Structure 1
Amino acid sequence: MDIVVAGHICLDIIPDWRIGSIKTIIPGHILEMSGLKLSTGGAVANTGIALKKLGINTALLGKVGTDAFGKVILEILKKEGKTLAENMIISGNEVSSYTIVLNPPDTDRVFLHYPGPNHTFTANDIPYEKIKSSRIFHFGYPPLMQKFYENDGKELVKMFQRIRKMKIITSLDMAMPDPESPAGRVDWFKFFKNVLPLVDIFMPSIDELLYMLRPEKYNKIYEKRERFDMVLLNQLAKQLIDYGTKVVAIKLGDQGLYLRTHQIEKSNLSSIINHQDWNYRQLLSPCFAAEVKGTTGTGDATIAGFLAELLKGGEPEKCITLATAVGACCVEAVDATEGIRPLPEIIKRVTSGWERLSLSIPLDHWKFDYQYKIWKGPEDQVR
């Protein structure tokens, strides 16, 4: 396989609310639903299936039980590709992770989540011998996996050390932790200082970064008293690069994808990309115009697009363009992967003049690249 996607996986159980049914859940009352949808959730399924649909040879490494939920998860994955679930980790004595999604009309969704085997997943569960021929190893959602977030990321360090010794490119995505859970009390400064020296590509969201590294700023932005700007993005990216990662790609929601890189030569990345194209880059790719039907899995799809182009040895301009294009395809469907099309179709749509959305972030001293229709920062390729 070319790319391994490991980390968090669960079964999403989504009741379909009957039109005209009571919007509020009242204790003691029966609410008649009109149906039920079962789908896979988490980074392993979302990013992994998106890569498979793009045409990338992908292997999935999530941990499930032998229970009914686990069987459903494996069945869904196998429908996407017969070999996709071959390396899934099966635990015989655990109930698989699930999320019950309550989505009454005109109200915010409520998630009832059971972590299951995600909390017992450790570095020793990885079948390293089976994945030694892969080129990229992507791990997603450690804040939702107990063994990987506790002890300042010690288990994550152990895993990435073994992967790096195999000369495989390492990639990491985060997730928003529950503030009331043990993950909500993690010292993320220590976590990143320990983990990021072993991560070639780090692809968090702006919300996750602010929550973990700028909590006061996060609260102000969440309460809509302030919003993030390029000064803050540059500060966060520099901090993460100083911790040791080479490539930082921050997902900005409807503002696109921000990329900042350091010197690439002495990393595993140089095995597939031209380091001269990637050294000291500062770019921003706006979102593509799309009819939004759902936002579930958009960040995971964006990562899939980025890694797919990176695997081809693409320049950073192409990587962030394809990333935002795949993210736009994702929002055109209700679930996380239904909107993803084969890579040639998406590339054709991009090169045929697919419209970009305008930005609301001030871009002082940034220059517009008319070839790729992205923005280049004032520190682009400046040492």
Structure 2
Amino acid sequence: MKLIVVGSANMDMVMTTERVPEAGETLHGTGFFLSPGGKGANQAVAGAKMGAPTWLLGKVGDDIFGQSISANLARHGVSTDYLTAEPGVSSGVAAITVCGGNNRIILAGGANDKVTPEYVDGFREEILSASAVMLQLEIPLPAVYRAVELAKGRTPVFLNPAPAVPIDDSVLDGVDYFTPNEIEARFYTGIQIRGTEEAFAALDRLRAKGIRFPLITLGDKGVAYFNGSRNVHKMSLPAEVVDTTAAGDTFSGTLAAMIVAGKPMDEAVDIAQRAAAIAVTRPGAQDSIPVLAEVLGENPPRG
């Protein structure tokens, strides 16, 4: 069993505010901290914490942030054998403002922007021998396209389409598991999701593009997904929200780990929802992601 995540790794700079500043306004914030993040790295950590042997394929800068990102991945059980330090380039950075439990994020790609199709090609055999490949859209789109092209029909592909950008339908046809949130689902389907009916219509439209198993996360309204035979809607679990930064990544990474482990879709979604519900009760990204024993109730939640 081997999960390869092809994606981004960032250093998150996080600050909490009581409200969002207006243009030209300065506010006092509280609770500033640095936290390794990036959607690729977060999802890799989620996969590893759920028990899947996980590798992150990507790039960091040859700076102190890159060293910290790599060390933190290893601490959480992610292999960094396929993670390269790019000379003369800064690591990716995310400036995150948390207000009322919700976040606003500005990204600077840094070394993530140096992940090319040629770089992905260098790991062709590793991708073809993997149990699954997981992707996001914080690295250049041509690299994402190349990974899907290599894996299509050979290795199951998980794509979390964030941040949303146009994707050729020919590429979507190579995606097995597609996990947008409701805003991203609207971007790809044109359907404004107000309830279950619209969510199911969006799932059908995504399946018409060739995606085998679309899943749409709906925030506090749960998740809608196609389980292989029918569309399903499940409500979210109650949680005292502190920080939503890694909630979607926790869901996506946990889902991939559970599918790779052989869980049926309905059970995999249940576990992914429980993991995300725990993650939002904690600040930060990777440190907020629970381990499988917590999710299954074998150990009490930490933090």
- Shorter-chain TM range is 0.7 to 0.9
Structure 2 CA distance for aligned equivalents of residues 303 and 44 of structure 1: 10
Provide the secondary structure at the position in 2 that maps to 1:168: coil
CA 1:238–1:91: 2 relative to 1, 3 Å: same
CA 1:340–1:118: 2 relative to 1, 3 Å: closer
Structure 1 CA distance for aligned equivalents of residues 20 and 237 of structure 2: 33
Structure 2 CA distance for aligned equivalents of residues 73 and 24 of structure 1: 29
Question: Are 1:85 and 2:80 an aligned pair?
Answer: yes
Question: Are 1:120 and 2:69 an aligned pair?
Answer: no
CA 1:100–1:172: 2 relative to 1, 3 Å: same
Question: Are 1:164 and 2:152 an aligned pair?
Answer: yes
- Cα pair 2:127 2:155 within 8 Å, conserved: no
CA 1:5–1:108: 2 relative to 1, 3 Å: closer
Q: CA deviation at 1:323?
A: 1.4
In structure 2, the partner of 1:211 is 187
Structure 2 CA distance for aligned equivalents of residues 123 and 234 of structure 1: 34
Structure 2 CA distance for aligned equivalents of residues 326 and 96 of structure 1: 28
Q: Any unmatched runs of 5+ in structure 1? A: 149-153, 178-182, 219-226, 262-277, 350-383
CA 1:28–1:313: 2 relative to 1, 3 Å: closer
Which one of the candidate residues 196, 201, 214 is aligned to 2:172? 196
Provide the secondary structure at the position in 2 that maps to 1:77: helix
Provide the secondary structure at the position in 2 that maps to 1:198: coil
Q: CA deviation at 1:32?
A: 8.0
The structure whose RCO (Cα within 8 Å, separation 6+) is larger is 2
In structure 1, the partner of 2:301 is none
TM-score, normalisation: structure 1: 0.69
- Cα pair 1:257 1:285 within 8 Å, conserved: yes
CA 1:161–1:288: 2 relative to 1, 3 Å: same
Structure 1 residues 217-265: Cα deviation after superposition (integer angstroms, max 9, x where no partner): 65xxxxxxxx61222212211111111111111111111111115xxxx
In structure 2, the partner of 1:96 is 91
Provide the secondary structure at the position in 1 that maps to 2:107: strand
Q: CA deviation at 1:89?
A: 2.6
In structure 2, the partner of 1:246 is 212
- Cα pair 2:206 2:214 within 8 Å, conserved: yes
Structure 1 residues 29-79: Cα deviation after superposition (integer angstroms, max 9, x where no partner): 8x8877742112222221111121222211111211212322222122222
In structure 2, the partner of 1:13 is 13
Structure 1 CA distance for aligned equivalents of residues 102 and 234 of structure 2: 29
Structure 1 CA distance for aligned equivalents of residues 20 and 156 of structure 2: 47
Output the amino acid matched with 1:213.
T
Q: CA deviation at 1:130?
A: 3.5
Q: Any unmatched runs of 5+ in structure 2? A: 299-303
The sequence identity of aligned pairs, in percent, is 23
In structure 2, the partner of 1:308 is 257
Structure 1 residues 138-196: Cα deviation after superposition (integer angstroms, max 9, x where no partner): 001x2x43x30xxxxx553332121236x21111001135xxxxx5xxxx3xx241211
Q: CA deviation at 1:309?
A: 1.9
TM-score, normalisation: structure 2: 0.85
- Cα pair 1:52 1:58 within 8 Å, conserved: yes
Structure 2 CA distance for aligned equivalents of residues 7 and 316 of structure 1: 24
Structure 2 CA distance for aligned equivalents of residues 25 and 335 of structure 1: 24
- Cα pair 1:297 1:337 within 8 Å, conserved: yes
Larger radius of gyration: 1
Structure 1 CA distance for aligned equivalents of residues 255 and 69 of structure 2: 26
Structure 1 residues 92-146: Cα deviation after superposition (integer angstroms, max 9, x where no partner): 132211122345x779865443111222322221222344432011001x2x43x
Residues 34-113 of structure 1 aligned to structure 2 (within 5 Å): 36-81=32-77, 84-103=79-98, 111-113=105-107
- Cα pair 1:156 1:195 within 8 Å, conserved: no
What count of residue pairs does the alignment treat as equivalent? 297
